[in-house]
A = this chain, B = another copy of it.
Amino acid sequence: MSVHRNKRALVVLSGGQDSTTCLYWAVREFGAGAVETLTFDYQQRHRIELACARAVAHQANVPHVVLPIDTFAALGGNALTGTLPVATQPDPTTGLPNTFVPGRNLIFLSFAAAFAYPRGIQHLVTGVTQTDYSGYPDCRESTLQSLEQTLRLGMEYEITIHAPLLHLSKGEIVRLAETLGALPAMALTHTCYEGCRPPCGVCPACRIRAKGFADVGIPDPLLQQVC
């Protein structure tokens, strides 16, 4: 029995493999009736992510809300919302991929907290991983700890940020998903940076996903589909 029973959690659900695993983690930790999901429509290049998030939430039988954020697209200058193509190599100046949107996770979690506040939800769950290939500085434990403190101070509200995948490799995440019974939902997720379904298999995101499944010898349910 989890220590989190009788508390409620909000999972930031992108429609990808990691946040879907987090959703099933939250259901185990908090109980199915205590979990809600929130997806951001930030005019991402691949609208299919929104449909995937909805399908995942539906399969897990949890409430799902989509909140719009038009600001990132207005900011421009990155490959996630803009018209820039996704680069296969990091920017030589910053060392960051050109899918980097400065502060994106900070803003997602701040909006999630603002959504949670009037609903009395005190637990946020995010699928960020420190071991991620991308090296995004907003996916580090130190950043999340600092953000949690900032949100607590700024809202006078005891909110806790859970990042259960933070120190897991992609292979370990696949293993966790199996343990949680989340593998069937993996067929509904989206990872490919090129927006392809079936996935392109060659973009950085596809290759990392494939390696994660291969590392633990589990077939990717997404690739088992007949569609």
A71 within 8 A of B: yes
| A118 CB contact (under 8 Å) in B102, B113, B114 | B102
Dominant secondary structure at the A interface: helix
Which residues of B sit under 8 angstroms from A114, Cβ to Cβ? 72, 75, 101-104, 107
| Oligomer copy total | 2
Contacts of A44 in B (CB 8 A): none
Q: Are B69 and A69 in contact (CB under 8 A)?
A: yes
A71-B111, A143-B150, A149-B146 given; A157·B118 CB < 8 A: no
A113 to B106, CA, bound (A): 11
What is the size category of the interface that chain A forms with chain B?
35 or more
Residues of A at under 8 Å CB distance from B? 67-72, 74-75, 77, 101-107, 110-111, 113-115, 117-118, 137-138, 140, 142-143, 146-147, 149-151, 153-157
Beyond known contacts A103-B117, A137-B156: 7 more, CB 8 A cutoff: A67-B75, A70-B70, A102-B114, A103-B110, A104-B114, A137-B154, A147-B150
